[in-house]
Structure 1
């Protein structure tokens, strides 16, 4: 049975570093025997079908193939449609009332203990807010991610040690859930 997944690549095509053309990424994924391959935007989002493996093994396979093809390592998180739908439905903020640039989801490679983020004092960053979900962090940044002080605080290396984390805006969260639902 084929399952549809989204692959979230971390840190590609940003500021001229780690260039991965989407057409080449599609060809690479198809060469691995993945089906129905599509990409979304230039920021490292791919959707594909697979009848083997699980999220972790597929992420490792994609990461190794990207490194072999492009010559640099890229963190990859793979999630299936059911998970992506659950993330969308569990959003603790009123997504329908917000602009997409105000709401972001950071996907984590594994479950996160809330104590990890205890050093971040929410009151210092108001009106910005964050909430933890299932292997995800929801960030409300009314002035956008680029101007968010809270986003910087949450991305401190000591808070993310040992985790792979990659962030998407709400439009991309919604689109990936839709694309994997086919």
Structure 2
């Protein structure tokens, strides 16, 4: 099985994980065809293990190697393709960012979607285990949803990626 592994919160806020070191960790777990994409904590691996096992093993290995509270999201490449294909907003609009929030906890998913957003400023929509989000460039961190996803209580439950990054993972 080919999996996409998305690390949460690396190479920001003092947690540094070099992609060469991430590759070493993943290869050390016995995964095949390990590839990292960009420096924001994205990897592809092949293994016969289940997604749940990959998640548990990678989180434990990252905690041991780098000494931080590691949380990862693990999807099949087919699952990631379905997420990207399901993006409901116009992609690549001038002056806008297109994001996917990968959310492990259904309660957090629902809380994020319950936020009252100004559709002229940002929009969100539900997907299977994700929240799709579009926001003007430069407003990501100050937007209502951007502020919400930065809360410490949500760290174990979600990570965000620009849709362009997801395209690179699928290329």
Q: Which structure carries more helix by proportion? A: 1
37, 41, 56: which one aligns with 2:38:
41
Q: CA RMSD in A?
A: 2.5
TM-score, structure 2 normalization: 0.87
Task: Name the residue aligned to 2:18.
Answer: 21
Structure 1 residues 145 and 50: alpha-carbon distance in aligned structure 2, compared to 1, 3 A threshold: farther
Task: Name the residue aligned to 2:4.
Answer: 6
Separation in structure 2 between the aligned mates of residue 107 and residue 150 of structure 1, nearest angstrom: 17
Separation in structure 2 between the aligned mates of residue 59 and residue 130 of structure 1, nearest angstrom: 27
Number of positions where the alignment pairs a residue of Structure 1 with one of Structure 2? 171
Corresponding position: 1:90 with 2:77: no
Structure 2 gaps, min length 5: none
Report deviation, 1:119: 4.3
Structure 1 residues 145 and 175: alpha-carbon distance in aligned structure 2, compared to 1, 3 A threshold: farther
Structure 1 residues 153 and 28: alpha-carbon distance in aligned structure 2, compared to 1, 3 A threshold: closer
Separation in structure 2 between the aligned mates of residue 24 and residue 100 of structure 1, nearest angstrom: 35
Separation in structure 2 between the aligned mates of residue 75 and residue 114 of structure 1, nearest angstrom: 17
TM-score, structure 1 normalization: 0.82
143, 146, 151: which one aligns with 1:152:
146
Structure 1 residues 114 and 39: alpha-carbon distance in aligned structure 2, compared to 1, 3 A threshold: closer
Structure 1 gaps, min length 5: none
Residues 80-138 of structure 1, C-alpha deviation per residue, up to 9 Å, x if partnerless? 0111010011111122x425961011111244576423541123x52310111011111
Separation in structure 1 between the aligned mates of residue 41 and residue 27 of structure 2, nearest angstrom: 16
Report deviation, 1:71: 1.6
Structure 1 residues 114 and 172: alpha-carbon distance in aligned structure 2, compared to 1, 3 A threshold: closer
Consecutive aligned runs of 4 or more in structure 1 exceeding 3 Å deviation: 110-115, 144-148, 156-161
3-state SS, counterpart of residue 23 of structure 1? helix
Separation in structure 1 between the aligned mates of residue 117 and residue 81 of structure 2, nearest angstrom: 27
